[in-house]
A and B are shown apart, each in its own frame.
Chain A
Amino acid sequence: MQAVITVTGKDTSGIVAAVSAECAAHHANISDITQSVVGGYFVMIMIVDIDKLDIDFSEFVDVMTSLGKSKSLVINTMHGNIFDSMHKI
């Protein structure tokens, strides 16, 4: 199973490291990252495998949301099924 983590906010150093470290801490394996900075604004889409998560997905969503708040970023974490349902027949 996959989840999609989107991160947006003002660019600062260490965002990718912080998000990746939190994923690693909970055994969410990163399978893809798309990241860019436009006019000082940081945008990242990260796809992670969540089969081996050490906590409930709902807790993982909370963890990532809090991480975002602590770094003045908006971090949304969504279960991948919603994208598969919507875009694949």
Chain B
Amino acid sequence: MPLINSNDILETINMIHEDNLDIRTITMGISLFDCVSDDTERLCTRIYDKITRRAEHLVAVGQSIEKKYGIPVINKRIAITPVSYIGGTCDADGFVRIAHTLDRAAADLGVNFIGGYTALVQKGETAGATNLIDSIPEALSTTRCLCGSVNVASTKAGINMYAIAKMGKIIKDLAYRTRDDESFACSKLVVFANAPEDNPFMAGAFCGAGEPDNVINVGISGPGVVASAIKRAGDCDLAQLAETVKRTAFKITRVGQLVAAEAADALDSTLGIVDLSLAPTPAVGDSVAYILEEMGLESCGAHGTTAALALLNDAVKKGGVMAAQHVGGLSGSFIPVSEDAGMIAAVERGALSIEKLEAMTAVCSVGLDMIAIPGDTDESIISGIIADEIAIGVANTKTTAVRVIPAYGKKVGESLEFGGLFGRAPIMRVNTYSPAKFIKRGGRIPAPIHSLKN
């Protein structure tokens, strides 16, 4: 058997110990279609039993892989069939009972999060979807591990503006209900366009209707590794820079593939996808913003940021695609504000605005993410922020999403301290001119034309 090269060993160890390379998440998708019942009690029992049976060894397997390869596996998570499908006969109270069941299952298993408190309403709402959406404030403010999402638009269906109007109100309500906890519940809710069915990342993970009964999807990380590689590349031109990113993304993704295959095998699950993601953390050096600055921008948010991010995002995908058997999820570079030390710094120095972040989301995954706004922001303005972001996804045939936190009782200049991977969110200025009349019109913005591309 050929020996492993010392330089390769040192490179891998450096990536893990110096540049914060980690596996961000092993997410087990579990279908709950076979739990359906018109009796809420029975439904909850079946859901709890299936999740705790199928994911019984998820945490242990994650820890054992972590130990075997010496690479941190930060999160072990569960994604389930959208609950609006499963609880079609429940009223809002019934959905809250399901929410508490899911939270209890997650806590008993020791997983970090469980996602799938979800409704897909791009064309309109079923009774189940309406009841689930109505229950979101109660469900997400009284649970710890549960994450939810609402898909309000798709490129094929257009944009459901009724749902967007509703989500503005719900996000405000969630912020108020968790006002003593930094309005934290808002970080567990995401509003999507073109939501993927196999996304391993929270808050938007769910196990889509086309997924197998049990599937393992893995999300990788590694902004620090890419930033270091760019630094080492020195004063090269941008084509060479893209090559550097591709090579690095390949190596990172290979680890994701190895972990995904091993986890799927150990858990007797289908091997799903590797999400080719660059997911930052608040740790110094683990920042997507620093990558952009390493490319040559004085600060993330400067003119040129969107172009730099487009290069980065494309190169990550090109490098990663060859390294993994199947790719999917949100694949691309994430730009959450609170979870990225460089983004936080860029906001605080006045270099990065919501408008610029919105432009950046046109060329990367996934959307306006973990952004704190003043607590007194009107719900119609939140709906306007969502509508703009969703329109970018719909028009460009890509996933976009919004996860904003209207920080109850706080203003620009203050910040929310979440701690851990959620980090710190400086409160960002919002354009306060009102979109209320536009939002109030409701209806569905028609699906965009796919020819005459301009």
Contact = CB atoms under 8 A, between A and B. Distances in A.
Given A58-B64, A61-B68, A82 B3 contact: no
B311 to A, nearest CB: 23
A79 interface: yes
A87 to B, nearest CB: 4
B4 A80 contact: yes
Contact of B4 (A4, A58, A76): A4
A81 interface: yes
Nearest to A61: B67
Nearest to B4: A83
Interface in A1-59: 2, 4, 6, 31-32, 34, 45, 47, 49, 57-58
Contact of A79 (B9, B69, B254): B69
B13 interface: yes
Interface in A57-89: 57-58, 61, 76-87
Interface in B9-35: 9-13
B5 interface: yes
B3 A81 contact: no
Interface residues of B, number: 22
A4 B3 CA distance: 10
B3 A86 contact: no
Contact of B5 (A31, A78, A87): A87
B6 interface: yes
A81 B258 contact: yes
A57 B254 contact: no
B6 A82 contact: no
B71 interface: yes
B1 A2 contact: yes
A15 B336 CA distance: 45
B4 A2 contact: yes
B67 A4 contact: no
A86 B68 contact: no
A70 to B, nearest CB: 19
Interface string B64-91: 1001111100000000000000000000
B257 A84 contact: no
B4 A86 contact: no
B363 to A, nearest CB: 28
B13 A86 contact: no
Contacts of A82: 12, 69-71, 255, 258
A86 B254 contact: yes
B258 A58 contact: no
A4 B70 CA distance: 10
Interface centre among A32, A34, A82 (most CB of B within 10 A): A82
Given A45-B9, A78-B69, A85 B257 contact: yes
Contacts of A85: 254-255, 257-258
A86 B12 contact: yes
A49 B10 CA distance: 19
A83 B68 contact: no
Contacts of A57: 68
A58 B67 contact: yes
B251 interface: yes
B13 A34 contact: no
Contacts of B71: 82
Given A2-B1, A31-B3, A32-B3, A87 B70 contact: no
A78 B70 contact: yes
A76 B8 contact: no
A85 B71 CA distance: 13
B1 A79 contact: no
A24 B189 CA distance: 53
Given A4-B9, A79-B68, 4 more contacts: A31-B3, A45-B6, A49-B1, A83-B8
13 contacts: A4-B9, A6-B13, A32-B3, A49-B1, A58-B67, A76-B13, A78-B12, A78-B13, A78-B68, A85-B254, A86-B12, A86-B251, A86-B254
Closest 3 CB pairs of A and B: A78-B70, A87-B8, A85-B258
